[in-house]
Structure 1
Amino acid sequence: MTLDTPTKHKSTRPLRNVFRLPKSRQRDSFIKAAFAASSLRSSRLVALSVSHNRERPLPMTFHQEWQHKSCSVMKWYDGQKASSTKFYSIQHRKSIQGPFYHEFLLLKLTDGAVCRVERLGEGSPMNAIRLVGIKSHDVIQWYPNEQRSKAEAESESITEVDLGQEFDILDVLVICYAVQKTKPCNVYTLQRYNCYFLCLTILAVLTRRVASWETAITTDIWNDCIIRSLDKVSNLGLEEATQYPILRLCAMLDPDNPQPGALVVDKLRSHLITSSGCLYAHNRAMSGALWRSSLQRALSIELLSEFESVIKAVAEDSSRCGSQIQDIIDTSDDDAATRILGNKKLAGHFTTLAKQVLVPFMNDFSRRYQARQRMEWLETPIPFYLGVLSVILGAVSAPVLKLAHSILSDKDDPGGIVMQYAASVLLVDGKDKTHEIADAITEEIKSSSEFHNTASTTVMDTVASDPGVDQCNLKTLHARSPVGELSLPLLLCPFVVPALLDIGRAVEEERQGIIARVFSEAEAPNIHNPEVTPTEFQTLYIKHRIATHAKRVEDNHITAAPLVREDMEKVMEMVWQNLPSGFGCASIHNGILYTTYTSK
């Protein structure tokens, strides 16, 4: 819902609308209705917010420092301590007036009173649908038990969530604080950072705190998980073990050894159990993620330094496999490139690898970027000539082959075709965006366990298919693949990351979950049992409602649904990560996890 004054000169609209396309008229009608729906709430806010009455609506304007003594929101909170500030359940409600259906939350305090929390916007309707946004008002209002009906006026309940543990009003205030300190959701936009966003962000953060993934795995559970998963690997036959690229690499480097992968598995088991930093890295990865879907990548990145120590221990071993791994590590990028350029057959294999490994990845990345670019153009119109030039240059560019080609040789068309694709990006998005895209590609390649495992497998498939390529060539292609040095530590992820995610999910299912009482099946059609885990609530309720809102935005021709959904989920996770210590990402000091989820 937004705050705005009625637009003047209504008499000019009918004539203007004659020349508007049906989609534009539908879009304008939706935007107009969304703004008109706020007029009553706007008047009430303006009239009452200047009062010193405890029951007044409070537009939350925070001090830059959390809980600063001069902060008006903290002063309001201190005034609430005259009665209960605690709650166990929270109600998600929506206005019965369409088509926008403003949403808000009611914190059901333990003494029967409630606090209403909502987001409103104030400014130009056109700016409200653009990325620049308009001024946001995050408002909280306390209602005593006898006035609860006023808080619920002209609305209906969507769902009521029993969190299963005690929270405080302060736990909600800190989320609103983080929202206001996080760009881009510190402004109001009709399609993303609106009343729905604030409601769902608060629900997401509170239920994520109930989940407490960072405390799910104790030292005993960790050790048991590591031993079980690696014992399972140890018992695999030689052929079955080749499903793990690092074990297949060991077999190819030490073909006379009946158990070539035993060295890697033993070193990995020993390090993960004896090093205190491993469980610490796991907990740090868990604490930074709002969504369970973010955990795999986060865990792979946080455990990377531990895996590097394992590979170092393998390389220092006196066995043949260890010395061969050391050779790969010691081969510099320049030395490997020189060997490749000096061997025509090896150079041919390198070219083939570039096409097999890099092309699919870059094609996928290019498709995702171009799709996002097209969606963003709906909200940020560009000059017609730039759009035409971008389409032409983008069609000519074939970005995947360009990048692979430029990597293969600095002499052969060094970035020539790449520059054409880069020009299409630069014309429309500018220099900063071009650098951002390049950095995103590099980061995705460097940190993707799946990518490096696929690349290593492709290297070994290529070597195995040609009897003329020896172990030295195999090591060279690992030291200097088409994407640079293959990350041997990332090849260790498949041994433990899936098992850790599975055991974490199992522990969550055993813990007390939350109760989500849905009042309309249409609002959450996938919740059939009110008792759900926080992860299930994320998927079946929060993400479902984000997707439903995104679809409605797309149906009214404001922007594309995938763009809205992706941005809302990403920024919600940013809010989680920006919460002050003790309220979101758990504090970790010197390897010890502190979950001080208490009011200060």
Structure 2
Amino acid sequence: MKFKGLPSSLVNNRLSREENIRGSSGSSAAFFLRTFGVDSHDRRRPCLMEFHSDWQHPDCKVIRWYRDQQVSSTRFRSIQHRRNTDNVFLHEFLLLELSDGSVCRVERTGDGSNVDAIRNVGCLAADYIQWFTASEYNTYAARNTTELIAHVDFHHDFDIEDVLAICYAIQRWRRTSSYTLQRFNCYFLCGTVLLVLARRLAQWERILTPDTWRSALQQARERLHLQSHHLKEQHLFLRVCQMLEPDNSNPADVLFGALTEGLSSRKGYETAYRALAGTLWRESWGQAITTAFAQHVEDVLTSASERGGMCAERLKLATTAKRHELMGNSGSSAMVHGIAEKQALCAVRDGMVHLNKALEERHRMDSMEHPTSRSRRLMISLAANALGILFPVQLALSRSDMEEWGFKGECGLARGVLTAVTVGTISARRRLRERENEKRGISVEDTALAENSKSASEFTLQANYEMADRALKETLAELQRNNMVTYYNVVIALHMILSKNLWNWWLKLSICKVLVDILPDLLPDREQLTIKASGQGEIKTFIQYQEFMRGRIRQHANRVEQFRLAAAQLVYQDIQDAVTDVWQSVPLSTNKEYQRH
């Protein structure tokens, strides 16, 4: 087939794309050739992993298949990660090398059309496991061209049941139970099984005992003393503490003393343990512990102020006092108030513009999978601009929770109106895009992207944190330029920022971010396994293996974008998040040694 009038590079890319899509079904065709001549009751017949909703239910046909395998060994220490090389799609599968020399092949295929497979909703996934004697598989393999991606030796026994538990967890999540060529295909199944098994072997949470946790907290407090100057350069919160108690070289000591003591309790240890047990990727540990410990901060402020910590007392004053009480005790309070409000509005306006760039990029990437007509894009743009212009009026008239934002009083000013228009337009555009398939409008509450901390997503919380951080930083800088830095003026400035429900998590997150920075490394990279990967040096640690697998996910994501099936960054992030979801939902093994609490 020829494409007349098109550049050769475009033609080649289109042909490659079509070949890649067609190749996705090649694995299914090759797979079903293996089933001919095998009796339906023969243990060698492929088992379609259709699980009962209850794990290990006696009526589950997958569990019955597993029991049939128990006439021989079901244990393994190593897995071959392989791929076919007879089509562009490069179908991947796993070979569990059982201790008696036999093997089990595990793979995912798509049970549906190629068109369904490239849609976001996907087609039905068909996950199979099949047992072979060594000689039978060697005969089969001799007729099929495959290559080794990696040979993983765990140096520890696992059981076929452990792999079944992971496949069960994959199918329990709606998005990963479907087969999509972009994300949840054979690569995803193989990678997830290997990463989860390796994570179980690492057993990070087993390293964290009450004693090691207390020791880590003590080291954190010592590091706060030894590296105070360096840490103040990195963390605005510590500079605020110094301004609140300028005569103390380490004003945050009492606060973090109360924090480490509180977290040394059984409750604190269990919080850390749960956060660590749910962590799959090393890079996500900091965020996990920050979120987990934010709930402890209010109790810490109370405890530290009761101990006589001046910095803690003044922090508590900034978070609990009424505005009129603070404003009446300082002659310069009105000026501080004006500076803080001006910087807050600037932070919101600039923060929303920056956020809009990120949202536009996200929309561009989404459009690769969900294209929108030009007329629809024009309609959304016009509607968003109209809602943005009306937003200041809606905000002024609203009697809802919007009044508690803390910005309503400033919306009557010129800069406040302009900021409200910016917020309304950007937020309306996002909401309209999200609800393209919903037949309903959006209210003033919907127009607000920056929800309060009780309802905000992690994405919004981070955006609000950055806005608050910038507003406070610029306010303090302005106070310094005007030679107005007193502890009381800093209290007023802090109150003006934290009294806005958009930003009331700034203090909690700031304290937790310092804690994460001063805690010692709790995730040792020990040599526990041996992985011989094609084109790579020998891998001996779980964290090294994570990096190897992350590289493979990136390669796959880039390939997907090359064929214009989806944006690489979205594919990469979605796969990483999905593997984490699976890790957190794998049912407890009957093997007590590997149970997570």
Kindly provide the CA deviation profile for residues 548-587 of structure 1, in whole angstroms up to 9, marking residues without a partner as x. Answer: 111111222222211211111111111112222358xxxx
* Residue of structure 1 in register with 2:286 after alignment: 296
Q: Match for 1:553: what amino acid?
A: V
Q: 2:201 aligns with which of 203, 210, 213?
A: 210
Deviation at 1:531, TM superposition (A): 3.9
Q: Match for 2:543: what amino acid?
A: T
Change (3 A) 1:383 1:343: same
Q: 1:574 aligns with which of 565, 574, 581?
A: 581
Contact 2:55 2:168 in 1 (8 A): yes
1:63-82 to structure 2, matched below 5 A, reads 63-82=52-71
Deviation at 1:328, TM superposition (A): 1.5
| 1:228 and 2:226 aligned | no
Contact 2:108 2:185 in 1 (8 A): yes
Contact 2:301 2:316 in 1 (8 A): no
Contact 1:253 1:324 in 2 (8 A): yes
Kindly provide the CA deviation profile for residues 419-468 of structure 1, in whole angstroms up to 9, marking residues without a partner as x. Answer: 33233334432079996976696534546897466665444334333334
* Residue of structure 2 in register with 1:166 after alignment: 157
Kindly provide the CA deviation profile for residues 347-370 of structure 1, in whole angstroms up to 9, marking residues without a partner as x. Answer: 2332224424x4565444333332
* Residue of structure 1 in register with 2:91 after alignment: 102
* Residue of structure 1 in register with 2:399 after alignment: none
Deviation at 1:146, TM superposition (A): 2.2
* Residue of structure 1 in register with 2:494 after alignment: 478
Task: Please list every run of 5 or more consecutive structure 1 residues that lacks an aligned counterpart in the other structure.
Answer: 1-13, 522-526, 584-593
Contact 1:311 1:488 in 2 (8 A): no
* Residue of structure 2 in register with 1:535 after alignment: 543
Change (3 A) 1:256 1:428: closer
* Residue of structure 1 in register with 2:114 after alignment: 125
Structure 1 window deviating more from structure 2 (541-550 vs 480-489): it is 480-489
Contact 1:406 1:415 in 2 (8 A): no
* Residue of structure 2 in register with 1:157 after alignment: 148
1:429 & 1:450 partners in 2: Cα distance? 23
2:559 & 2:19 partners in 1: Cα distance? 13
Change (3 A) 1:428 1:150: farther
Deviation at 1:374, TM superposition (A): 1.4
Contact 2:108 2:126 in 1 (8 A): yes
Deviation at 1:218, TM superposition (A): 2.8
2:145 & 2:166 partners in 1: Cα distance? 26
Matched pairs, number: 559
Q: Match for 1:312: what amino acid?
A: T
| 1:85 and 2:74 aligned | yes
Change (3 A) 1:258 1:206: closer
Structure 1 window deviating more from structure 2 (151-160 vs 544-553): it is 151-160
* Residue of structure 2 in register with 1:373 after alignment: 363
| 1:136 and 2:143 aligned | no
| 1:329 and 2:329 aligned | no
Q: Match for 2:581: what amino acid?
A: M
Structure 1 window deviating more from structure 2 (195-204 vs 328-337): it is 328-337
Kindly provide the CA deviation profile for residues 96-136 of structure 1, in whole angstroms up to 9, marking residues without a partner as x. Answer: 21211100000111111110000000212122111111111
* Residue of structure 2 in register with 1:515 after alignment: 530
2:471 & 2:182 partners in 1: Cα distance? 40
* Residue of structure 1 in register with 2:267 after alignment: 277
* Residue of structure 2 in register with 1:597 after alignment: 594
2:217 & 2:346 partners in 1: Cα distance? 37
* Residue of structure 1 in register with 2:517 after alignment: 498
* Residue of structure 1 in register with 2:277 after alignment: 287
2:133 & 2:42 partners in 1: Cα distance? 12
Structure 1 window deviating more from structure 2 (251-260 vs 223-232): it is 251-260
Q: Secondary structure at the match of 1:303?
A: helix
Contact 2:109 2:126 in 1 (8 A): yes
Kindly provide the CA deviation profile for residues 138-195 of structure 1, in whole angstroms up to 9, marking residues without a partner as x. Answer: 0000001221314644312111001121111011001111111112111111111110
Contact 1:513 1:531 in 2 (8 A): no
* Residue of structure 1 in register with 2:410 after alignment: 409
Q: Match for 1:424: what amino acid?
A: R
Change (3 A) 1:453 1:226: farther
Change (3 A) 1:369 1:445: closer
Q: Secondary structure at the match of 1:503?
A: coil
Change (3 A) 1:513 1:457: farther
1:345-364 to structure 2, matched below 5 A, reads 346-356=337-347, 358=348, 361-364=351-354
2:151 & 2:232 partners in 1: Cα distance? 49
For normalisation by structure 1, the TM-score amounts to 0.82
Change (3 A) 1:364 1:111: farther
Q: Match for 2:50: what amino acid?
A: T
| 1:310 and 2:295 aligned | no
Of all paired residues, the percent bearing the same amino acid is 29
For normalisation by structure 2, the TM-score amounts to 0.83
* Residue of structure 1 in register with 2:378 after alignment: 388
Deviation at 1:73, TM superposition (A): 0.3
* Residue of structure 2 in register with 1:418 after alignment: 423
1:125 & 1:405 partners in 2: Cα distance? 52
Kindly provide the CA deviation profile for residues 470-517 of structure 1, in whole angstroms up to 9, marking residues without a partner as x. Answer: 5434223323316433543333224431344x4223xx23x3421111
Task: Please list every run of 5 or more consecutive structure 2 residues that lacks an aligned counterpart in the other structure.
Answer: 396-404
Contact 2:25 2:109 in 1 (8 A): no
Change (3 A) 1:175 1:249: same
Q: Secondary structure at the match of 1:580?
A: coil
Change (3 A) 1:90 1:497: same
Contact 1:86 1:166 in 2 (8 A): yes
| 1:562 and 2:569 aligned | yes
1:407 & 1:486 partners in 2: Cα distance? 20
Contact 1:299 1:497 in 2 (8 A): yes
1:265 & 1:43 partners in 2: Cα distance? 65
Kindly provide the CA deviation profile for residues 56-80 of structure 1, in whole angstroms up to 9, marking residues without a partner as x. Answer: 0111100011111100000000111
Change (3 A) 1:129 1:258: closer
Deviation at 1:209, TM superposition (A): 0.9
Contact 2:220 2:515 in 1 (8 A): yes
